[in-house]
Structure 1
Amino acid sequence: MSNKEKQDLNELIKKYDNFINITLRPSLKKELDERDHIFDTISEYQKLYSQIELIQENKLNELKTMVDLGSQFYAQAHIPDTTYIYVHTGFGFHVQFTLDEAKTFIKKKEQQLQKLADKHTQEADKIKAHIKMALEAISEILVTSS
Structure 2
Amino acid sequence: MATPPKWWAVEATRERVLRHKTFISDMLQQDLRKVLDHQDKIHEQLAKYLQLRNVIERLQEAKHSELYMQLTLAEALKFIDRKSSLLTELSNSLTKDSMNIKAHIHMLLEGLRELQGLQNFPEKPHH
- TM-score band by shorter chain is 0.7 to 0.9
Quick check: 1:83–1:99 contact (8 Å CA) kept in 2? no
Structure 2: give runs of 5+ residues left out of the alignment.
121-127
Q: Distance in 2 between matches of 1:16 and 1:137?
A: 9
SS in 2 for 1:145: coil
Match of residue 35, structure 2, among 31, 34, 48: 31
Match of residue 60, structure 1, among 58, 61, 64: 64
Amino acid at match of 2:53: Y
Match of residue 112, structure 1, among 68, 86, 102: 86
Quick check: 1:45–1:106 contact (8 Å CA) kept in 2? yes
Q: Do structure 1's residue 144 and structure 2's residue 109 form an aligned pair?
A: no
Q: How do 1:77-88 and structure 2 match up within 5 A?
A: 81-84=66-69
Name the structure where helix makes up a greater proportion of residues: 2
Match of residue 43, structure 1, among 44, 47, 55: 47
Identify the residue that residue 103 of structure 1 maps to in structure 2.
Answer: 77
| Structure (1 or 2) with the larger CA radius of gyration | 2
- What's the % identity of the aligned pairs? 32
Match of residue 125, structure 1, among 86, 92, 99: 99
Amino acid at match of 2:72: T
1:3 to partner: Cα distance: 1.5
Moved runs in structure 1, 4+ residues, more than 4 A?
Answer: none
SS in 1 for 2:71: strand
Q: TM-score, normalised by structure 1?
A: 0.76
Amino acid at match of 1:40: E
Amino acid at match of 2:11: Q
- State the superposition RMSD in angstroms: 1.2
1:59 to partner: Cα distance: 2.4
Amino acid at match of 1:15: R
Structure 1: give runs of 5+ residues left out of the alignment.
62-80, 85-95
